[in-house]
Amino acid sequence: MRWMCVEMESPTVEQDSPALGFRVLSSWVEKLIGLLGTGPSALPVALMRCGSIHTYGMAYPIDVAIVGKCGEVLASVRALRPGHVLSCAEGFCVFERPASPCPWPGVGETLRVASLSFVPRRAAQRCAGLLEPVREVIGS
């Protein structure tokens, strides 16, 4: 399993904001399933080489960001409800997590990979914010 830490670069994002942690999904089956079948405490995921997602069959709303090849956020939706499709022809990857009040990239911001790890514990150490969105969803 691979983990990715992503940093947001934007004038609206505080310099000391924690990086966002994502479980990397790259196979066709992994991307098709995404967060389907999980609950609101699921870990965030990054769907690689993907520009379209659906929320059919989801049991809860999710935050979604579609990102271009250079890290630019092309589309961003907070709390996307089940039964919807979000697509962007120029999208290269999609970031998803259970809906949360934690920081989330907006259109026009730039994302960059801060680290990529094959060992979850190492990713959690490098990316202090890895589980924070999950805790806030559970506590809300």
Average pLDDT, the chain: 80
pLDDT higher than threshold 90 for residue 107: yes
Tell me how far apart the alpha carbons of residues 17 and 26 are, in angstroms, rounded to a whole number: 27
pTM of the model: 0.77
Band of the pLDDT at 102, cuts 50, 70, 90?
Answer: confident
Residues 6+ positions from 39 with CB-CB distance below 8 Å: 59, 60, 98
Question: What average pLDDT does this structure show over 80-106?
Answer: 94
Tell me how far apart the alpha carbons of residues 5 and 54 are, in angstroms, rounded to a whole number: 24
4 vs 135, which has greater pLDDT?
A: 4
Tell me how far apart the alpha carbons of residues 117 and 75 are, in angstroms, rounded to a whole number: 26
Rg (CA), the chain: 14
pLDDT higher than threshold 60 for residue 83: yes
Secondary structure (DSSP) of 73-127: EEEEEEEEPTT-EEE-TT--EEEEEE--SS----TT-EEEEEEEESSHHHHHHH-
Q: Helix, strand, coil proportions of the chain in percent (round to 5)?
A: 15, 40, 45
Tell me how far apart the alpha carbons of residues 16 and 58 are, in angstroms, rounded to a whole number: 33
Angle at 40 between CA 36 and CA 46, to 5 degrees: 55
Q: Which of 1-10, 53-62, 84-93 has the lowest mean pLDDT?
A: 1-10
pLDDT higher than threshold 80 for residue 82: yes
